[in-house]
Chains A and B, each alone.
Chain A
Amino acid sequence: MATIKLRQVEKRFGEFQAVKPMDLTIDSGEFVVFLGPSGCGKTTTLRMISGLESVSTGDIFLDDRKVTWLRPSDRDIAFVFQFFALYPHMTAQQNIAFPLQAEGESKDEIDRRVKEVVDLLQIGHLLNFRPGKLSGGDKQRVALARALVRRPAAFLMDEPLGALDADFRESMRAEIKQLHLNLNATTVYVTHDQIEAMAMSDRIVVMSNAEVQQVGTPAQVYYDPANLFVARFIGSPGMNLMASQYGNGIVRLPGANQYVVSPDWRMALGEGLDSDDVIIGFRPEAAHIKPDGNLVGEVYASELYGAYTMLHVELDGNEIVHIRSDRQTRYPIGSKVRFDLDPEMVRFFNPKTEMAIN
């Protein structure tokens, strides 16, 4: 299994900058997810690693071997496409055997290795069907088998579950994760689905506007977003973010609410801010509803999600925060609720730079 290194890799299409110069090191056996909205450059980056797309500047290394200008076939990587890209005129068996035949393996060796991956993925019953007769999930299993059969140094997956039904996606997610744990293969996985990213990855690379916004573990990008984009993009709903004023250890939120900053934050805020303006951020589950809470707002909407209730609470005018509450209590619309913030989970951002303060 291989490490993948990107050094100042950039992609331009004429004037358009699809990927701004980025650095990234993916360790051997790591499962890294590129996450971002569509058009953020994540697929382009993946295709550059695979060699399907050339880089404009910068270098790509596989295990310290410079592969920047090598063809995909010389890089020893496998690629799983969003729409499977199976060969329609071949049976599943022939599809899986294709990479081995292309390498000129002997028939016995091909049979043996095809059987190996077929057993691993448990797709023996699909072998004689052509892709046109397979369901989306089975197509993706066959595509995975075709990627696995060659034992490549790394797997690149471009939204492999994007074309599947929602409930199916969940079980396939587990299958792919399981597969990764079994093989311990370096995997780069592109998705726009943050739940997929959180559930599967060792590390997430959050991208937006052709730029890397943050690289970190799922917990890091969730609890310690590097900037406002990540704070908004990760989580559904995203982090509550409110323009506020800071002074003398107190953050003044909209609606005459005040939040007393814990002592360890005061220094950081003093250094990180260049005016009174600050953006306070907290996750919906960081707010706890209490009769004697310090903050107050008016219930604007209440949505029962089953396991919990999501309250939309209006602090002042247009400022609405999401608060996660238990599933039993009912809060009539228009009623007042009081709540406190868990100081462990409150974050601050500089409104000018949009970066987190820490």
Chain B
Amino acid sequence: MSTVIKSQTEVAKARSAQPNPRRDLSDKAIRNLFIFPTLVLLIAINVFPLIYSLYLSFTNYSAIANKQPVWIGFENFGRVLSDDRMWEFFSTTGQYVLFSVLLQLIIGFALAMLVRDKFFGSGLVTTLILVPMMLSPVVVGLFWKLMYNPTFGYVNYLLGFSNPSLAPDWLASRWAGQPTPGLALWAVIFVDVWMWTPFVMLLILSGLKAIPDYLYEAAAIDRASAWFQFWRITLPQVAPLMMIAILFRTIEAFNKSFDLVMGMTGGGPGTQTEVVAVTLYKQAFQGQWQTGRASALAYMVLIIIIAISNLYIRNLNRMKEGA
């Protein structure tokens, strides 16, 4: 066996010793060959747009106007900040983020506790719970739009409404024809919760499974009730992972809410479900194509997300020090 290996390496040596200019690429050349195309692509589609949009946020540029961008300083930012409707959109986004993340956390925790211990079919149940988060948000938005439909949707059917004119029209914020503000936002939040609770559950489940049994044994010896064990051991032990779940979901609820909301309501009725991501899209690509102003808004959202993430991460680090 060893002689075979030896002879193979010898063959390889002999081969590499032969002059073959094309094959004689140095390690460095190979490295560059792999890195440079990636680098070029990254700069072209990530770094350049990022910097260019920062520049555009200080101009009055419009992507469909055949004019060069003109520098106007902080005017875009000023206009965004002084736009009354903008605060409404941010408040809508805030409600969306707060309630969807909160509900995902509570339901996700409960589900994780349910599938934590093995039972017959627990693997299958866990897998089935995970299905929603594997779907495309746009597809989810579209089929929930159909489910919410007041005349032929399943939601009202399952809720027992037989007469469409008396039933809620969820995505239009109407109940039996009467305007009911908030209905559409809650309908969208519900779908977000439906879609992303599995993700939160998965993170919390991994946290739960990582808690060593002996902690519960010690707690049983220490005469802690199940409730006391939950509050004093389970929750603190899972807290760092919950923090990560919150972080991810907050960031995504800011950005990725776009797919769901656009798929279901397009921000409507009126502006009731218009989260910032949708506003951004409308300003940038609909109506006036205010590219400069949209860039300014996008940067402000970015700063907010970074600020929130920083708060979370600082909290997370403090928790990890404790663990």
**A-to-B contact residues, CB < 8 Å:** 50-52, 71-73, 77-79, 81, 83, 85-89, 98-99, 101-103, 130, 132, 146, 150
Bound-state Cα–Cα, A78 to B223, Å: 10
A101 CB contacts on chain B under 8 angstroms: 228, 232
A78 CB contacts on chain B under 8 angstroms: 221
B221 near A73: Cβ-Cβ < 8 Å: yes
B232 near A98: Cβ-Cβ < 8 Å: yes
Residue of A at shortest CB range from B211?
A88
Given A87-B233, A89-B237, does the pair A103, B218 have CB atoms closer than 8 Å? no
Residue of A at shortest CB range from B225?
A102
List 29 A–B pairs whose Cβ atoms lie within 8 Å, in order of A's numbering: A51-B220, A52-B217, A71-B220, A73-B221, A77-B221, A78-B221, A79-B218, A81-B217, A81-B218, A85-B218, A86-B218, A88-B215, A88-B237, A89-B237, A89-B322, A89-B323, A98-B219, A98-B224, A98-B232, A99-B224, A101-B232, A102-B219, A102-B222, A102-B224, A102-B228, A102-B232, A146-B222, A150-B222, A150-B223
A81 CB contacts on chain B under 8 angstroms: 214, 217-218
Bound-state Cα–Cα, A77 to B225, Å: 16
In this assembly, does B123 line the interface, its C-beta being within 8 Å of a C-beta of chain A? no
Bound-state Cα–Cα, A303 to B217, Å: 46
B236 near A73: Cβ-Cβ < 8 Å: no
Residue of A at shortest CB range from B212?
A85
Bound-state Cα–Cα, A336 to B24, Å: 74
Residue of B at shortest CB range from A130?
B322
Known: A77-B221, A81-B218. 20 other contacts (CB 8 A): A51-B220, A72-B221, A73-B220, A73-B223, A73-B225, A78-B221, A79-B218, A79-B221, A81-B217, A83-B214, A87-B218, A87-B232, A88-B237, A89-B236, A99-B223, A99-B224, A102-B219, A102-B224, A102-B225, A130-B322
B322 CB contacts on chain A under 8 angstroms: 89, 130
Residue of A at shortest CB range from B220?
A72
Number of A-B contacts (CB under 8 A): 63
Bound-state Cα–Cα, A78 to B218, Å: 9
Tally B residues with Cβ within 8 Å of A. 18
A50 near B221: Cβ-Cβ < 8 Å: yes
Bound-state Cα–Cα, A150 to B220, Å: 13
Q: CB-CB contacts of B195-236 with A at 8 A, as 1s and 0s?
A: 000000000000000000011011111111100100011001
Bound-state Cα–Cα, A102 to B219, Å: 9
Closest 3 A-B residue pairs measured CB to CB?
Answer: A99-B222, A102-B224, A85-B218
Residue of A at shortest CB range from B217?
A52
B236 CB contacts on chain A under 8 angstroms: 89
**Within the complex, which residue of A71, A83, A98, A132 is in contact with B222, where a contact is CB–CB below 8 Å?**
A98
B221 near A88: Cβ-Cβ < 8 Å: no
Q: CB-CB contacts of B143-171 with A at 8 A, as 1s and 0s?
A: 00000000000000000000000000000
A87 CB contacts on chain B under 8 angstroms: 215, 218-219, 232-233
Bound-state Cα–Cα, A65 to B75, Å: 83
B215 near A85: Cβ-Cβ < 8 Å: yes
Residue of A at shortest CB range from B239?
A89
Query: Which of B215, B217, B220, B221 has the most chain A CB atoms inside 10 A of its CB?
Result: B221
B233 near A102: Cβ-Cβ < 8 Å: no
Residue of B at shortest CB range from A98?
B222
Query: Which of B223, B224, B228 has the most chain A CB atoms inside 10 A of its CB?
Result: B223
B220 near A52: Cβ-Cβ < 8 Å: yes
A102 near B223: Cβ-Cβ < 8 Å: yes
Looking at the assembled complex, report how far the CB atom of B207 sits from the nearest CB atom of chain A, in whole angstroms. 12
Residue of B at shortest CB range from A102?
B224
Looking at the assembled complex, report how far the CB atom of A138 sits from the nearest CB atom of chain B, in whole angstroms. 17
**Within the complex, which residue of A102, A132, A146 is in contact with B323, where a contact is CB–CB below 8 Å?**
A132
Bound-state Cα–Cα, A102 to B323, Å: 21
Bound-state Cα–Cα, A87 to B217, Å: 11
Instruction: Tell me which residues from 93 to 150 in chain B have a Cβ below 8 Å from any Cβ of chain A.
Output: none
A73 CB contacts on chain B under 8 angstroms: 220-225
Looking at the assembled complex, report how far the CB atom of A253 sits from the nearest CB atom of chain B, in whole angstroms. 51
Looking at the assembled complex, report how far the CB atom of A160 sits from the nearest CB atom of chain B, in whole angstroms. 13
A77 CB contacts on chain B under 8 angstroms: 221
B217 near A85: Cβ-Cβ < 8 Å: yes
Residue of A at shortest CB range from B221?
A79
Looking at the assembled complex, report how far the CB atom of A117 sits from the nearest CB atom of chain B, in whole angstroms. 14
A79 CB contacts on chain B under 8 angstroms: 217-218, 221
**Within the complex, which residue of A50, A71, A72, A85 is in contact with B214, where a contact is CB–CB below 8 Å?**
A85
Instruction: Tell me which residues from 270 to 323 in chain B have a Cβ below 8 Å from any Cβ of chain A.
Output: 322-323
Looking at the assembled complex, report how far the CB atom of A107 sits from the nearest CB atom of chain B, in whole angstroms. 16
Residue of A at shortest CB range from B235?
A89
Bound-state Cα–Cα, A34 to B214, Å: 21
Looking at the assembled complex, report how far the CB atom of B235 sits from the nearest CB atom of chain A, in whole angstroms. 10
Instruction: Tell me which residues from 14 to 50 in chain B have a Cβ below 8 Å from any Cβ of chain A.
Output: none
Bound-state Cα–Cα, A236 to B4, Å: 51
Residue of A at shortest CB range from B237?
A89
A130 CB contacts on chain B under 8 angstroms: 322
Bound-state Cα–Cα, A289 to B218, Å: 54
Looking at the assembled complex, report how far the CB atom of A282 sits from the nearest CB atom of chain B, in whole angstroms. 44
Looking at the assembled complex, report how far the CB atom of A102 sits from the nearest CB atom of chain B, in whole angstroms. 4
B224 CB contacts on chain A under 8 angstroms: 73, 98-99, 102
Bound-state Cα–Cα, A87 to B220, Å: 13
Bound-state Cα–Cα, A268 to B80, Å: 106
B225 CB contacts on chain A under 8 angstroms: 73, 102
Instruction: Tell me which residues from 221 to 267 in chain B have a Cβ below 8 Å from any Cβ of chain A.
Output: 221-225, 228, 232-233, 236-237
Looking at the assembled complex, report how far the CB atom of B45 sits from the nearest CB atom of chain A, in whole angstroms. 43
**Within the complex, which residue of A52, A88, A103 is in contact with B223, where a contact is CB–CB below 8 Å?**
A103
Looking at the assembled complex, report how far the CB atom of A307 sits from the nearest CB atom of chain B, in whole angstroms. 40
Looking at the assembled complex, report how far the CB atom of B33 sits from the nearest CB atom of chain A, in whole angstroms. 46
B232 CB contacts on chain A under 8 angstroms: 87, 98, 101-102
Looking at the assembled complex, report how far the CB atom of B52 sits from the nearest CB atom of chain A, in whole angstroms. 47
Looking at the assembled complex, report how far the CB atom of A62 sits from the nearest CB atom of chain B, in whole angstroms. 14
A88 near B323: Cβ-Cβ < 8 Å: yes
B220 CB contacts on chain A under 8 angstroms: 51-52, 71-73
